[in-house]
């Protein structure tokens, strides 16, 4: 009886996702739980949100030119064809792409990754029930890798995904990735939240401003832009396939970040991203002393806790305010600072075209420098 009961639970566990029209796979590192109820939380979560998950197919026209063909410069050929065949000959080709997204407003507002739809000339959105819509990219933000696509629902309310609170996530919470990996429609993978606040520099994409969620749920290029769900079927993140070499590791943009800029993107406006124009790293007295004792070091570093300015970009708020390479920022608006990520967050919260004051240590002096933030382009 025990064996029969266990087999019944296992069979039910795998049948439910298939009945719902979704294929299902577990992260390789997870053991199958034999005490799951017949209506598993995964099936319930997918049933709640799955209809709002869409497939996004894109097409863009890419122009390229052939190199110079010496035969086209032949004088005999030119007698017949003239000069029109000489030099470079342009050619256009169509490049197809594919990803995922999810509906956040019944009128047809869809969230996805910017890299899924950027520069697309044609966007086609396919719902789970097979209906297809022509999509319009209303806004993209490369800094957060977020985008909004709008479809005309012709007055019909489309199914929407419930948005959760990514600030309430804990390491070890369930993570359910939904999307269309490598062209396979309606696929669900299961894992856990492995790490919170994984910085973009740690992930290896320093041009982004995101603290990622890390999960072991399988995330592939095709389900980029799809939702990462919690056990209640609420969206806690947006899947993003950003590391081709990230075997067994997936990343997602916290949904609270998307909430902040969703309306801005839907209206086609630019997302504000203030910056000051410095490259920086954390420093402490021990690291500074090690650098200063090295006869080959590029410059001396003040032996204090703070954020070291490694480079000042030209024609930026920092360069205009007189900040120099080798300065150590110890305060921002009178708040002590010792972490580069925290400094970046303070600049972000300040806003664009706003005044901000840096206290920096330069040699044996402490200077207060006033900057005015600018929009990052």
177 close to 213: Cβ distance less than 8 angstroms: no
Answer whether 275's CB lies under 8 Å from 318's CB. no
Between CA 97 and CA 255 the distance in angstroms is 24
Catalytic residue (one of 40, 57, 100, 115): 115
- Output DSSP code: residue 166: G
CA distance 20 to 68: 57
Run of H or E including 225: none
Residue from 153, 155, 190 nearest 175 by CA: 190
The answer to whether 257 and 311 are in contact (CB under 8 A) is no
**Residue of 224, 305, 327, 359 marked catalytic:** 224
Among residues 282, 141, 120, which one has the least CA distance to residue 210?
A: 141
Catalytic, out of 57, 141, 145, 305: 145
Residue corresponding to tokens 């396919």: 126
Concerning whether 245 is annotated as a catalytic residue, the answer is no
Instruction: Name the token pair of 66.
Output: 């052939």
For residue 145, indicate whether it is catalytic: yes
Q: For residue 152, which phi and psi values (nearest 5 degrees)?
A: -90, 105
Active site residues: 115, 145, 224
């Amino acid at each position: 009886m025990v064996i029969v009961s266990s087999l019944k639970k296992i069979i039910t566990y795998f049948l439910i996702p298939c009945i719902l029209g979704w294929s299902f796979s577990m992260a390789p590192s997870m053991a199958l739980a034999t005490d799951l109820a017949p209506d598993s939380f995964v099936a319930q979560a997918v049933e709640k949100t799955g209809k709002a998950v869409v497939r996004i197919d894109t097409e863009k026209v890419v122009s390229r030119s052939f190199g110079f063909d010496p035969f086209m410069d032949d004088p005999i050929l030119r007698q017949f064809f003239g000069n029109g065949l000489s030099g470079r000959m342009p050619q256009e080709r169509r490049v197809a792409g594919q990803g995922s997204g999810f509906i956040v407003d019944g009128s047809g507002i869809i969230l996805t990754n910017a890299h899924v739809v950027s520069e697309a000339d044609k966007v086609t959105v396919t719902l789970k029930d097979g209906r297809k819509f022509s999509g319009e990219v209303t806004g993209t933000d490369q800094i957060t890798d977020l985008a909004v696509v709008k479809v005309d629902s012709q007055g019909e309310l489309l199914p929407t995904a419930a948005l959760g609170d990514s600030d309430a996530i804990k390491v070890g919470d369930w993570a359910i990735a939904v999307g269309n990996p490598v062209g396979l429609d309606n696929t669900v993978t299961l894992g856990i939240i492995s790490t919170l606040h994984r910085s973009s520099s740690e992930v290896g994409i320093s041009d982004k401003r995101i603290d990622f969620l890390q999960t072991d749920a399988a995330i592939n290029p095709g389900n980029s832009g799809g939702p990462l769900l919690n056990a209640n079927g609420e969206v806690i993140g947006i899947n993003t396939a950003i590391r081709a070499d990230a075997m067994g590791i997936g990343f997602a943009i916290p949904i609270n970040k998307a909430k902040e800029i969703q309306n801005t993107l839907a209206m086609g406006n630019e997302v504000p991203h203030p910056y000051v124009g410095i490259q920086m790293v954390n420093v402490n007295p021990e690291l500074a002393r090690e650098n200063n004792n090295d006869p080959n070091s590029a410059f001396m570093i003040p032996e204090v806790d703070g954020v070291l300015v490694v480079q000042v970009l030209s024609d930026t708020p920092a360069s205009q305010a007189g900040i120099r390479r080798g300065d150590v920022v110890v305060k921002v608006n009178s708040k002590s600072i010792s972490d580069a990520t925290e400094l970046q967050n303070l600049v972000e919260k300040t806003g664009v075209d706003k005044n901000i004051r840096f206290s920096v240590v330069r040699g044996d002096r402490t200077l207060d420098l006033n900057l005015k933030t600018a929009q990052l382009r």
